[in-house]
Structure 1
Amino acid sequence: MADYNAPVIAPVDPIETQINELFDRMVYRLNQRRAALLNRYHELRDEKAARRSERIKKFEELVGMKAETEGRLQMNDLRELQERMIADIELKLAEVNTHQPETHIVFRNQSEPLEQLIAQLGEVLEEEVPIIPNYQAMREVVAVGKKRRAPGKLYSPRAVAIDYNTNKIFVTEGAQILSRGLFSTHKRISIFTERGDYLDSFTHKDMQGPHGIAIHEDNVYVTDTLVHAVFLFKMETSFPLIAKLGTGGSRIGEFNSPQNLTVSTNGDVYVTDFYNNRIQILNSSLQPIRNLTKKPIQNPRDIKLTADEVYVLCEDNPCIQVLSHAGERLRSLASRSMPNDVANPHFFCLDVAKNIIISDWCYNGKVKIFNKEGIFIHAILVEHQKKVPARGLALTKDLSLVVIFPDSDYYLRIFSCL
């Protein structure tokens, strides 16, 4: 019987690593070209539609002028002039109504008809080519949110989520342990643009220690580790509270330090129930459905879903447990005992190739990337600050990586490979 807790260890072949790097660069460039073609395709389609609309408008104007001129025809000296005007209008109408020549575009040093180019682009766009960031080329491009309580600053930030409809960045600001068991809380969610500009923030009187966050359609889900609950806010101007579930406990619908959460395509909410060693599944209105597994999961911290699998970041070694949607353990990834592995993982995310990006709470200032087999690929560093822990992270639509570094000069940092 397979031992699902056994570390996945494989020798690293430098030639294979180089080949993989070259392949990643090739795919990245291909996707950049694909994105450029897509933009050009939409520009050409809009231009063609605008030309047709302009012809129709001109035709209607000429028809109106002709009708108006015919109505003014009188048996006088101006009749001959008016008839000539009608003849000119009819000539222009014929020109407008004549089939326009095909638009040709210079593409690949060849002149191709627009319709043919659109058909070719359509074929390219239908291809399922994974868009993968070039992690080796990622550099810090934005650093915002110094430690302050004022709007636009960040105090004890925890997790980050992206609203992919607007590209807005949502950051939870939670509880900070001071001394003798005392807490300092800020209990709010701050919102930034994809460039790090501050937009807004919201909170609720029942929140004490907001931690994890997930966005699905117009719903914002937030876990609270101090009141042991999950909150549901509506994505509206004042972010009204729609539902709340949970108190401290171990029964279904109760939590013991819920950490992070994610939402499936059908709206089910998966919550990591840390000290209860389980994953609770709720519906979109926060009504409990079931536990993901019957067997305990060692202190789960973060969770992500793919079409056919569930990835859980937990205290086990390896720290990534991959399960089926029925809760069956499939494999374990990302060892915590080998060189270049994570020491104290807290959050993670996946790209489309199922590469695993993990934030390390150990004081090394690194975000570490593993491939889908759990083999270390690359580490992203905070330049000039190599001893800061990392927490929440997420990939934006344009493949930038947003990371929370709670003990650095700037708490919110954005890395890009563009």
Structure 2
Amino acid sequence: MKYFVISLLLGLFIQANAQKTKKPYKQLQGFHHPESVVFDEQQKVYYVSNMAGKEEQDGFISKVSENGEILDTIWAKGLQDPKGLLLHGDKLFVTDISFLVEIDPASGDIISKTEVENAKSLNDIAADQEGNIYISDLVGNIIYKRDVSGNISEWLNTQELERPNGLLVSEDKIFVASWGKDEPGHLLQVDRKSKEIKKISPKGIGNLDGIQKIAPDSFYVSDWATGDIYRINTNGRMEKVLRSEKSSGDILFLKGTEELVLPMNHQNAIWWYRLN
């Protein structure tokens, strides 16, 4: 019995460390501080936001093939520090510090740049079923709302957002991956009617960045600080799925192929992981 218990514990230890050291099956270099990645089902390409360096207007969007090959490194340019990406309607929306930028996916041309009043550091972006768009401001502790008419206003402004980063919108909730300030950030949920905020994760996790839906009550969430990817349920149950490396940003989950696509900011790369 003693040896059985030792073997069992050893097996669990090996399994836990295997999760921590899981390697991507594909790595694509050639980016400049990538932050977010989305997949265009119509064009069958990925778009990747690149924050780039400190030069004026050196930020850009890259286009990558479905097979993971760079088609155009600087596909859309003239941005300062692009982060969040959203394909909505017939446009690609990009957050760029204090601007919401609209890009034509067919050409890569910038259609418009709208300044968001009082915004400090716009980050992620998500849309609801009615066509409203929500934008997180990590530094400002604000979630902005762009209505279907194109008007942008503060939707929620409170320190309880814990420096909001990743956003995911459901029918009646907004789920927030918070960066944290005085303590590690939580996964939060905000009621869209009452705007009441609830902590889903039982404790602070880290500098949370990306959030992707697995099921109505389950999400993949990335911790930028450690590279850990968690599966978190709305009941607070949390499981570490894998560990990449520090600076995993606004992740993408491809449900059809059970893959996670990670923009690796410091590594200047995109990493693909198989989960099955």
Residue equivalent to 1:308: 172
Residue equivalent to 1:144: 28
Most deviating of 279-288 and 399-408: 279-288
Task: State the 1:194 CA deviation.
Answer: 2.9
List per-residue Cα deviations over 1:48-100 (Å, max 9, x = no partner): xxxxxxxxxxxxxxxxxxxxxxxxxxxxxxxxxxxxxxxxxxxxxxxxxxxxx
| Matches of 1:267 and 1:191, distance apart in 2 | 25
Q: Is 1:323 the counterpart of 2:190 in the alignment?
A: yes
Q: Which of 34, 47, 50 is 1:173 aligned to?
A: 50
Q: 1:343 to 1:336 in 2, by over 3 A?
A: farther
Q: Is 1:214 the counterpart of 2:86 in the alignment?
A: yes
Regions of 4+ moved over 6 Å: none
Residue equivalent to 1:394: 252
Q: 1:215 to 1:390 in 2, by over 3 A?
A: same
* RMSD (CA atoms): 2.8
| Matches of 2:211 and 2:203, distance apart in 1 | 14
Q: 1:310 to 1:194 in 2, by over 3 A?
A: same
Q: Which of 103, 112, 126 is 1:243 aligned to?
A: 112
Whether the aligned pair in 1 keeps the contact of 2:56 and 2:80 (CA below 8 Å) is: no
More strand by share: 2
Letter in 2 for 1:310: I
Q: Which of 374, 377, 382 is 2:239 aligned to?
A: 377
| Matches of 2:203 and 2:44, distance apart in 1 | 33
Secondary structure of the corresponding residue to residue 357 of structure 1: strand
Whether the aligned pair in 2 keeps the contact of 1:269 and 1:286 (CA below 8 Å) is: no
Q: Which of 216, 221, 227 is 1:358 aligned to?
A: 221
Residue equivalent to 1:156: 33
Residue equivalent to 1:94: none
Q: Is 1:416 the counterpart of 2:274 in the alignment?
A: yes
Identity of aligned residues (%): 17
List per-residue Cα deviations over 1:188-231 (Å, max 9, x = no partner): 111112321222342243x2111111111321000112xx1110
Task: State the 1:335 CA deviation.
Answer: 4.5
More helix by share: 1
| Greater Cα radius of gyration, structure 1 or 2 | 1
| Matches of 1:388 and 1:219, distance apart in 2 | 31
| Matches of 2:220 and 2:35, distance apart in 1 | 16
Task: State the 1:393 CA deviation.
Answer: 0.4
Task: State the 1:185 CA deviation.
Answer: 6.8
Residue equivalent to 1:233: 103
Q: Is 1:196 the counterpart of 2:68 in the alignment?
A: yes
Whether the aligned pair in 2 keeps the contact of 1:403 and 1:413 (CA below 8 Å) is: yes
Task: Give the TM-score taking structure 1 as reference length.
Answer: 0.54
Whether the aligned pair in 2 keeps the contact of 1:139 and 1:416 (CA below 8 Å) is: no
Whether the aligned pair in 1 keeps the contact of 2:83 and 2:123 (CA below 8 Å) is: yes
Q: How many residues align?
A: 252
Letter in 1 for 2:26: V
| Matches of 2:270 and 2:80, distance apart in 1 | 21
Q: 1:166 to 1:373 in 2, by over 3 A?
A: farther
| Matches of 2:271 and 2:129, distance apart in 1 | 28
Whether the aligned pair in 2 keeps the contact of 1:223 and 1:229 (CA below 8 Å) is: yes
| Matches of 1:197 and 1:219, distance apart in 2 | 23
| Matches of 2:32 and 2:56, distance apart in 1 | 9
| Matches of 1:356 and 1:397, distance apart in 2 | 12
Secondary structure of the corresponding residue to residue 51 of structure 2: strand
Q: 1:315 to 1:416 in 2, by over 3 A?
A: closer
Unaligned runs of 5+ in 1: 1-134, 146-152, 177-181
Q: Which of 239, 243, 264 is 2:128 aligned to?
A: 264
| Matches of 2:178 and 2:272, distance apart in 1 | 25
Task: State the 1:318 CA deviation.
Answer: 5.4
Letter in 2 for 1:209: D
Q: 1:224 to 1:143 in 2, by over 3 A?
A: same
